[in-house]
Amino acid sequence: MARHGISAPASPLILAIENSSMCGSVAIVSPNLCLGELSITSSITHSKRLLDSIDTILNNVDLNLNDIDAIAVSLGPGSFTGVRIGLTTAKGLALATGKPLIGINSLIALASQVPCSNDLICSMLDARKKEVFAAFYKKNSLGTVMQSGNFLSVAPAILCDAISEPVIFVGDGALLYKSEIEERTGRFATFAPHEICFPRASATGMLALSHWTSGSFLNPAEASPIYVRPSDAEINYRKK
């Protein structure tokens, strides 16, 4: 059915939520098309702006939750609070609507935003405490992003000292520690443009399309974040 003279997008329609960094982002995507995306960096917490952002993006593309085929959400790693709020909201929407829930890790979403290259890609998000959340990726001949190794929560110096081949760094952690990375990796380091150094909901949604095709859905009652390291709340609880 056409809307306002525009042909309806192909199925599936996926509502994507990305909350793993200071920049909260929501998007609606379908195969080969981003219908709309809203990204906000603000002092207002994710919990206060996320539902409003979802309402705004749905209204602006003339859709409602009943039109959505699935809900995709970033599982982290990243901001503990942001990831938890994003996942809790996505789980609530999935349970309320009966729509499938798809989980995507924030670091692969970052890597997917880097243009095709034969070089290793290091997605790096600021983890505070002078550490970064990081993982390495490669793109195959079809442009599919493949993870190489495990998720890391590590000091940038330790990560860089293990690098012995050209690497493209992307993410707010790469920007924050750029001087140290350059000093330790020298000619091996290049950096993605600033404008793609935050995880975007549209990337999360596009990655979710293959999960839709394969039927790789999460159980909303059991879905959990990718934290990589314990949160401060967990550490304080254990100390008690």
pLDDT digits (tens, 9 = 90+) for 173-215: 999 999 999 999 988 999 999 999 999 999 999 999 999 999 9
In a domain, 149, yes or no: yes
Taking the C-alpha atoms of residue 158 and residue 161, their distance in angstroms, rounded to an integer, is: 5
One domain for residues 185 and 118: yes
Structure tokens at 237: 């609880």
Average pLDDT of the segment spanning 49-76: 95
Three-state DSSP class for residue 92: helix
Task: Please report where in the chains the tokens 């790096």 appear, as a residue.
Answer: 124
Express as a percent the part of the chain with pLDDT over 70: 90
One domain for residues 88 and 119: no
One domain for residues 32 and 100: yes
- Name the β-bridge partners of 104: 74
One domain for residues 184 and 136: yes
Taking the C-alpha atoms of residue 11 and residue 35, their distance in angstroms, rounded to an integer, is: 12
Lowest mean pLDDT among 5-19, 60-74, 124-138: 5-19
One domain for residues 90 and 44: yes
CATH value at residue 187: 3.30.420.40
pLDDT higher than 80, residue 235: no
One domain for residues 187 and 120: yes
Q: How many domains does the chain have?
A: 2
Cβ(26)–Cβ(18) below 8 Å: yes
**Residue 192's domain spans which residues?**
114-196
One domain for residues 79 and 130: no
One domain for residues 127 and 47: no
One domain for residues 180 and 211: no
Between 130 and 239, the more confident residue is 130
One domain for residues 205 and 99: yes
Among 126, 191, 186, residue whose Cα is nearest residue 156: 126
One domain for residues 56 and 140: no
Contact residues for 103 (Cβ-Cβ < 8 A; gap 6+): 72, 73, 74, 75, 87, 218, 223
In a domain, 78, yes or no: yes
